[in-house]
Structure 1
């Protein structure tokens, strides 16, 4: 069962992970989230980032390390992770990696209400989705190849491998669903739904 967190926003987890590497100013944390592509999974803006840092400070997970002032910018506060923050990060990560949780993607909502569309229109729209998924998967494959060619360690590409696996699985599912809507007399339940394959 998921543990109740003092600061439950996924952005807090990203902040703790960033500060695990080194003390930083929130602006620098935000820049690193964007450069690493993690902003695809963690929604934030400048205001929410500062708010989460303050919540983490109040919870005792981060602390003000120093204030830095240079001639170009106003005073900036650099934050560091505390021992409590490090323990929270590791505990939260272990939970997220080990325990599946219910997630609510928008496509799941669309599938649950698919009957609102005529079958032919739904099939055409699903066909367009297949094309978009294929294009996105091709881009991910190219990005992964480029990263591997530049010596990036595989563990740092796990997020992209997972994304690619989801895209491929969704593409197969959507193509099969579109086909069944075009040929309703050939509808059959996917065997994987009843008898899952080996893990």
Structure 2
């Protein structure tokens, strides 16, 4: 991934909002929340003003005016610059076209699940499978509601989330079936190691394979 002058994904979200029209930070946050971008991006709202300041510092935004609404403090209105527009397109293009090398948390857990023991692993995976199916049901319902008001081109990230949830749920259910039916090699040795603390030869042979 390219090292960016403003690497916080909230910066990309801000650029995607102000590309439509100049906005002050409070309005940016309102637009992003209304569009559910905090569900799509790892946004920390407390850093919004810092991110906006950094975008201005590096020439991606520029202040155009200050406005006052009633008794509230003045708010600075920002617009996107040509450099900001180019940065936004390059950033989105990288996210869409480049594989992410950062492993997901679930993969990290799977790589170390041996420390839990098979019975605890089965219990946790059953809970995960149930949670995934509940999440998928919520995502389907949300997608159906959104389809009534938005064209598909604005819903592809919702479709993607649903597809990934369903795929993970299928994988977890399949792996659970293998664990509980005894078709995964080495489970008995894994259990003995977890219960006794002694690393058995058959588990060692399984790991080497």
Short-chain TM bin: 0.7 to 0.9
Aligned to 1:164: 162
CA–CA separation in structure 2 for the residues paired with 1:10 and 1:80: 18
Normalising by structure 1, we get a TM-score of 0.88
Normalising by structure 2, we get a TM-score of 0.84
CA–CA separation in structure 2 for the residues paired with 1:97 and 1:44: 19
**1:78 and 2:74 aligned:** no
CA–CA separation in structure 2 for the residues paired with 1:50 and 1:70: 18
Aligned to 2:140: 141
Instruction: Answer with 1 or 2: which has the greater Rg.
Output: 2
Write out aligned runs for 1:181-196 (5 A). 181-184=179-182, 186-187=183-184
Displacement, 1:83? 0.5
Aligned to 2:173: 175
- Could you list the per-position Cα deviations for residues 101-155 of structure 1 after superposition, in whole angstroms to 9, with x for gaps in the alignment? 21332212211111111212211211111111111111111111111123x1101
CA–CA separation in structure 2 for the residues paired with 1:101 and 1:46: 24
Displacement, 1:159? 0.6
Name stretches of at least 5 consecutive residues in structure 2 with no aligned partner.
186-209
CA–CA separation in structure 1 for the residues paired with 2:32 and 2:114: 39
Displacement, 1:183? 2.2
Secondary structure of 1:110's aligned partner: helix
CA contact (8 A) 2:9 2:43 kept: no
- Could you list the per-position Cα deviations for residues 32-90 of structure 1 after superposition, in whole angstroms to 9, with x for gaps in the alignment? 22221111232334430110100100000000011001223110011100011001111
Q: Which runs of 4+ in 1 moved over 2 A?
A: 41-47
Secondary structure of 1:73's aligned partner: coil
User: What is the root-mean-square deviation in Å for CA atoms of aligned residues?
Assistant: 1.4
Aligned to 1:54: 53
Count of residues paired in the alignment: 185
CA–CA separation in structure 2 for the residues paired with 1:46 and 1:134: 29
